[in-house]
A and B are shown apart, each in its own frame.
Chain A
């Protein structure tokens, strides 16, 4: 037999007991041809455009899942940032656009649709401002729409006016969805250096340099890496890195296969394969568990940043050997609410917001799915965003903030979101004010790192 029985059983074990999955097949669709001054006509154009490409997304993806016996957990759509394509609308409230996206997502049967977004790292157009102001109502009146705002890049610096505004928008979004633990904030990301082809939510959008339609695939498998590391007998850190690289290679090959097949069936371009260790609430499917397998007593203790740096780098190296289309975020995610090991680390007092911030300087994204007390001020949230944007800007990497100031909650409470979003322990923030710093506004200029030409 061409393939050894042990190899076959290894693959089957990865899927059946270690939670290897294709996390998402995300179809990127350009809406650039949809613009119209009348918002109703615009909405109709948007709906028709999405359905034209995505009507069979779920059916075809399920066929691929059956063919290979590899679960494909989510089917998603990303679209051109709405702030750009809705700019020419006469209306200033874009909530109906979000509702149109939601209806299209519902009718196509996908799990999420991303792209209720604006890119404002250097300044805001009227369309950008209309979109940002529409975010709270948009997220409160839809189920599947995800929103993101890019407020910083290494090339442009940090738009602190936008950072200040986003602190207020996050608070307002939490308030409008307070009956559901502020879940609107779980669908809102503030970015530095946002990738234009990321298939993962809530930050996916279809960038302006992308083709008309594209298939991006996100593949995951912290559980597989965790099992592989734990199976090593008294390894050195070099052995661990080698083991993670090999495992990442195998996982990535799966995504490559699914991506190619999906793109060929839809007759569109295969965009990127994003290999990100995205944890789920399932036991063992945890990035924290991998760090602890390396020898840390509890995630968040001294040494955690170093361990995460090793993990993130080894994942990238393995992935880049396995596919020439690796892109998006590709690395390790550390969303607290979605990672059973992270939740336990917070509860036992080993993992703090400050340590998470340090960790984001060496992993693929940022402060993700973190609940903070309901009475946290908007300026403090803006300041948390500003810190994270600074890490991304200086280190030429993507960083993001997705915090949930769930109304009425205090430190120690647990917030339940359900499903892949999991549950989040409310974490303390610093009580000293950042109000004056945030209210100064303006821009933090682009760093010296931007002068590369």
Chain B
């Protein structure tokens, strides 16, 4: 693990308030958005964020749980994965 940056993906049916809800939870955990992209793919709302935390004792599992609970409320699927999961697969 070379950094504390995470890829957060949000996939689901589009509706009002998804971005607001997700980013609010991130703010509560002091997680900063480095980059964000959003599209509609196959009629599904797809938001991908590169996020970063600078806290030394960041509680990843609590953040995981809060994000997936928020996803359930909003009716979307939220995944939080360390960026290395993608970097290893797609970059040498």
Contact = CB atoms under 8 A, between A and B. Distances in A.
Interface string B50-71: 1000000000110010000000
Interface string B74-85: 000001111111
B84 A3 contact: no
Given A8-B7, A8-B9, A9-B41, A1 B89 contact: no
A12 B8 CA distance: 11
A250 interface: yes
Contact of B89 (A2, A9, A11): A11
B61 A5 contact: no
Given A3-B7, A5-B37, A66-B64, A254 B50 contact: no
B84 to A, nearest CB: 6
A3 B81 CA distance: 13
A7 interface: yes
Contact of A254 (B11, B35, B46, B89): B89
Given A1-B35, A1-B48, A12-B9, A257 B86 contact: no
B48 to A, nearest CB: 5
B48 A5 contact: yes
B19 to A, nearest CB: 16
Contact of B90 (A7, A12, A66, A69): A7
A69 B87 contact: no
Contacts of A9: 9, 41, 46, 48
Contacts of B1: 67, 261
Contacts of A68: 81-82, 84-85
Contacts of A67: 1, 60, 81-82
B48 A257 contact: no
Nearest to B38: A5
Contacts, number: 67
Contacts of A1: 35, 37, 48, 50
A66 B89 contact: no
Instruction: Report the contact-size class of chain B (Cβ under 8 Å from the partner).
Output: 20 to 34
Contacts of B48: 1, 5, 8-9
Main secondary structure of the interface of A (DSSP, over half): helix
A158 B80 CA distance: 52
Contacts of B60: 66-67
B15 interface: no
A118 B60 CA distance: 44
Contact of A70 (B37, B85, B87, B90): B85
A253 B85 CA distance: 9
Nearest to A14: B89
A257 B84 contact: yes
B79 A3 contact: no
Contacts of B81: 67-70
Interface in A211-266: 250, 253-254, 256-257, 261
A196 B84 CA distance: 30
Nearest to B90: A7
A180 B35 CA distance: 55
A2 B80 contact: no
B30 interface: no
Contacts of A257: 84-85, 88
Interface string A295-334: 0000000000000000000000000000000000000000
A7 B81 CA distance: 14
Nearest to B79: A69
A63 to B, nearest CB: 8
A2 B89 CA distance: 13
A70 B46 CA distance: 20
A4 B83 CA distance: 12
Contacts of A12: 9, 11, 79
Tell me which of A4, A8, A11, A68 has the highest count of chain B C-beta atoms within 10 A of its own C-beta. Answer: A8
22 contacts: A1-B50, A2-B87, A3-B83, A3-B91, A4-B90, A5-B46, A5-B48, A7-B90, A9-B9, A9-B41, A9-B46, A12-B9, A12-B79, A67-B60, A67-B81, A68-B81, A68-B82, A70-B85, A253-B88, A257-B84, A257-B88, A261-B1
Interface of A: 1-5, 7-9, 11-12, 66-70, 250, 253-254, 256-257, 261
Cβ-closest 7 pairs across A and B: A69-B81, A68-B85, A257-B88, A7-B90, A253-B88, A1-B35, A3-B86
Given A3-B86, A70-B85, 5 more contacts: A3-B7, A3-B87, A68-B82, A254-B85, A254-B89
Interface of B: 1, 7, 9, 11, 35, 37, 39, 41, 46, 48, 50, 60-61, 64, 79-91
